Amino acid sequence: MRDGLIGALFLLAMACYGTGSGIAESAVVHGSVDRHAMAFGALLMLGNSVCVAVIGVLMYPILHEYDENVALGYVVVRCFEGILLIVGIVSLLSQQALTEVASDPTAVLFAVLQKANFFAYQMAMCILGFGSVPVCYTLLRSGLLPAWLSLWGLVGYAVFAVGTIAEIFGFSIGVMLSVPGGLFEVILPIWLFTKGFARDEGSKWWNAGEERGE
């Protein structure tokens, strides 16, 4: 039950942010803001922040059995991700506030607020990427997921984090480098729906190697 819920939250988080950000960005047209569209988009984006925080909380007892520090760290990472994304939401909503206090808000201020949302998003994704690497390593050691899937996540998140740093410094390769990690976050929920975490299997393959001194 919990495994399926975690998988559903991964998909729901992506759907909420992707749809919400698209609606919020399209709400700004030639210096004016569609208040209803902006509010709806921001609400969906806020739903993403809630989802990612809950994912961290639900993963805690699973990871705690194998590495307490990684379990706690993942909760912190997911919460920071959610908070930074909320900062971006506030930046977008501030565009609406500008239209309410000025009849002709400047394009410069709008651009600054949009950039604030962009950097908040990239920082949140950077934290997610680097923070998820030890989680995937723990999943690999524990045998909770197949080795190929854990390794996919480990490499995918590392590459994703590099892409976010590149975006912050002005190199537009983040979308391309997000593909491996993005696909992992699609395959993982499907695996959790159909198989779940292999708690009964434990870390047989890993422990067997340690007992042999490998």
Give a yes or no: residue 40 inside a domain: yes
Tell me the C-alpha distance between 150 and 201, whole Å.
Answer: 15
CA atoms within 13 A on the CB side of 57: 10
Q: Is the pLDDT of residue 168 over 90?
A: no
Give a yes or no: residue 208 inside a domain: no
Its domain, for residue 55, covers 2-203
What is the structure's pLDDT at 108? 62
Give a yes or no: residue 170 inside a domain: yes
> Where does residue 88 rank: exposed (0-12), middle (13-18), buried (19+ CB within 10 A)?
buried
Q: Assess contact for 166 and 177: CB atoms under 8 A.
A: yes
Categorize the per-residue pLDDT at 7 as very low, low, confident or very high, splitting at 50, 70 and 90: very high
Domain count for the chain, please give it.
1
Tell me the C-alpha distance between 126 and 75, whole Å.
Answer: 15
Give a yes or no: residue 152 inside a domain: yes
Residue ranges of the alpha helices (H) in the chain? 2-26, 35-64, 68-101, 107-142, 147-168, 174-177, 179-194, 204-211
Each residue's pLDDT tens digit, 58-93: 999 999 989 999 999 999 999 989 998 888 887 777
Question: How confident is the model over 89-118, as a mean pLDDT?
Answer: 68
First to last CA, the chain: 35
Mean of per-residue pLDDT scores for the chain: 84
Amino acid at residue number 179: V
What is the structure's pLDDT at 204? 45
Categorize the per-residue pLDDT at 99 as very low, low, confident or very high, splitting at 50, 70 and 90: low
